[in-house]
Structure 1
Amino acid sequence: MDTVLSIKGLSKHYGKIKALDGLNLEVKKGNVFGILGPNGSGKTTTLGMILDVINPTAGQFEWFGKKSGPATRKRIGAILEHPIFYPYLTGRQNLMIVCDIKQVPYERVDEVLLQVGLEERKNSKFKTYSLGMKQRLSIASALLCDPEVMILDEPTNGLDPQGIAEIRDLIISIANSGKTIIIASHLLDEVQKVCTHFCVLQRGKLIYNGLVEDVGKGNLSVEVKADDERLEEVLGACNLHLEMKRELDKYILTMHDGYSAADVNKYLFDHGITAKHLIVKTKSLEKQFLEILKDQEGGKQ
Structure 2
Amino acid sequence: MDTVLSIKNLSKHYGKIKALDGLSLDIKRGSVFGILGPNGSGKTTTLGMVLDVINPTSGLFEWFGQKSSSATRKRIGAILEHPIFYPYLTGVENLMIVCDIKGVPYSRVDEVLEQVSLGERKDSKFKTYSLGMKQRLSIASALLCDPEVMILDEPTNGLDPQGIAEIRELIIEIANSGKTIIIASHLLDEVQKVCTHFCVLQRGRLIHNGLVEDVGKGSLSVEVKADAENLEQVLESAQMHKQLKRELDKYILTMEDNYGAADVNKYLFDNGITAKHLVVKTKTLEKQFLEILKGQEGGQS
Percent same amino acid among aligned pairs?
Answer: 85
Distance in 1, Cα, partners of 2:185 & 2:224: 33
Letter in 2 for 1:44: T
Q: Deviations over 1:115-134 (max 9, x none)?
A: 00000000000000000000
Letter in 2 for 1:13: H
Q: TM-score, normalised by structure 2?
A: 1.00
Alignment correspondent of 1:259: 259
* Cα drift, residue 237 of structure 1: 0.8
**What SS does the corresponding residue of 1:109 show, helix, strand or coil?**
helix
Distance in 2, Cα, partners of 1:135 & 1:146: 18
Distance in 1, Cα, partners of 2:219 & 2:86: 53
Q: TM-score, normalised by structure 1?
A: 1.00
* Cα drift, residue 82 of structure 1: 1.3
* Large movers: runs of 4+ above 6 Å: none
Distance in 2, Cα, partners of 1:232 & 1:201: 39
Runs of 5+ in structure 1 lacking a partner? none
Give yes or no for the alignment of 1:35 onto 2:35.
yes
Alignment correspondent of 1:220: 220
Alignment correspondent of 1:7: 7
Give yes or no for the alignment of 1:59 onto 2:53.
no
Count of aligned residue pairs for this structure pair: 301
Distance in 2, Cα, partners of 1:81 & 1:263: 50
Runs of 5+ in structure 2 lacking a partner? none
Distance in 2, Cα, partners of 1:44 & 1:278: 42
Distance in 2, Cα, partners of 1:236 & 1:31: 44
Letter in 2 for 1:36: L
Alignment correspondent of 1:76: 76
* Cα drift, residue 234 of structure 1: 0.3
Q: Deviations over 1:58-78 (max 9, x none)?
A: 000000000000000000000
CA RMSD of aligned residues (A): 0.4
Q: Deviations over 1:220-278 (max 9, x none)?
A: 00000000001000000111101000000100000000001000000000000000000
Give yes or no for the alignment of 1:144 onto 2:134.
no
**What SS does the corresponding residue of 1:276 show, helix, strand or coil?**
strand
* Cα drift, residue 46 of structure 1: 0.1
Letter in 2 for 1:125: K
Distance in 2, Cα, partners of 1:219 & 1:82: 41
Distance in 2, Cα, partners of 1:97 & 1:243: 60
Letter in 2 for 1:221: S
Distance in 2, Cα, partners of 1:297 & 1:61: 28
Alignment correspondent of 1:195: 195
Letter in 2 for 1:106: Y
Give yes or no for the alignment of 1:88 onto 2:88.
yes
Letter in 2 for 1:247: E
Give yes or no for the alignment of 1:290 onto 2:290.
yes
**What SS does the corresponding residue of 1:158 show, helix, strand or coil?**
coil
